[in-house]
Amino acid sequence: MGGIEVKSFSSSSFAGEQVDALALARAAVEKNPQALFTDFQWFLYKGKDTVFFTAFSTRSYDKDALGNMVAEMIALAPQLTHGFVGAKPGQPFPKHLLDAITSVEMVDELDGYPDKWLSKSSDIFEREDLPLFRVMAAVRRDGPDSEGRAAVLQVRSSHALLEGSDSALLTRSASASHGVQSDKSNKLAWGDRLRSALRGGMTTLIYLLLANILAPKEKPWGFRTLAIERHRLRKLANKLGVRQRSLMFALVTHALNGEGAEKHMSKKVIGANYTMLDTKRNSTDDDFFRVRALEAKFKVMDDFVDYVRAVDDTVAGIEQKDITSFQVVIMSMFKAMRAVNRVLPFLPNKRFWRFNGGNDIVLTLVPPHRTYGPLTHGMVEPLYCGAWHSEVNICTFCPGRQYVTLNFSMEQRHVAHVDKIMSLLAEVEQRDVGPHTMAPAVEKLH
């Protein structure tokens, strides 16, 4: 979609020497199971951030079938063998590990899934001697229902091991092995690197200080999913003259924030981070993750048509500028935080993880998910993919062939407003809107 279009899903963005993870692992993981993690991976692991993928299937499953699925997954994504006590990176799991991380339950109906399954997935971190992911299935006791669904499957993982592009690759039964994702040949100017390192270090210190002063108490948390037909979004975006992702960003933030005098997020400006994939990598990018983060400020407006067009202009303005600066600072912050942790292991503390710096929402658009091959045989749309980060409101947009799913992890007080998104969509579809210059970027979700 616009700046988030992905033309290929290469497991390595650049040619050149690749890190020999297996050789490094033999010497490092016995002392520190996370030794092979990049600074970004380490940060997400320490924060116990998690991701999930879930889908209904026309196939039934038992423990052996799930064990075979895990074997296929780690062959395609060997990073799933990293990060736990006793790990042997790149090696198949013995049966006792497969049994420990897979589960099957029999249910009368599949109604209420996947929402009834969604959680923070804190159980992944309860045992340090188990892999940092789980695979589970709920199987309908009487066989397929009227829609042909026999089961629902879910993969939950530490975010340190998987990102949205990995989920998209695995859905296609394609390799999600990570090569070196930074481009060492594309070095930023030393002055830019120095400024970013200083900003990252200062950001770390300021963030630690503010977090211990301003961190809120832990809030009730909720999870929801929605599925919207892609043709509706495409048609409405064309009618309004905006990018499809701008429309999705606007639908979510406008509906959750509310209309009139009562605003649930902000009365003036909604602070949002959003993510994209970018092939123009540089030497300061993370060596594992492909994703890049950007900052956005959406001015609150009561009229939705005015608002979505303003959001579209904001997104266009951000991406016409240098989109690397915020990411470079973030990478420097992760590096500085890891250095602090080596000296002061009690930092970052719980208050740090509860402090989100005043950000209202994170909007994540993952690459298109399309089932193909043996790993996802029998799975049917809609496909759901989302994340949980401590005290961060998140909406993950997961496009498939027929549907885009919206996957929410957010404060419980916002969950009640999710249904307003569909009402807002239906209302705007019926409106007569004035002419507007078509968005300059041609979007592709396929």
Kindly report the CA angle at 391 between 389 and 397, in degrees rounded to 5?
50
Residue 123: predicted pLDDT: 97
Instruction: Copy the structure tokens of residue 419.
Output: 């249904």
Alpha-carbon torsion (365, 1, 403, 413), positive or negative? positive
Note the pLDDT tens digit of each residue in 185-207. Answer: 556 566 666 776 777 788 899 98
Q: Does domain 2-429 have CATH number 3.30.559.30?
A: yes
Beta bridge partners of 299: 269
Instruction: Judge contact between 99 and 46, C-beta under 8 A.
Output: no
Residue 189: predicted pLDDT: 64
Residue 440: predicted pLDDT: 46
Residue 85: predicted pLDDT: 95
By residue count, the chain amounts to 446
3 state DSSP class of 215? coil
User: Of 107, 178, 119, which is closest to residue 154 (Cα–Cα)?
Assistant: 119
pLDDT < 50 positions in the chain: 1-19, 21, 182-183, 438-442, 444, 446
Report the alpha-carbon distance of residue 204 to residue 336 in Å, rounded: 7
Kindly state the DSSP code that residue 394 receives in the 8-state scheme.
E
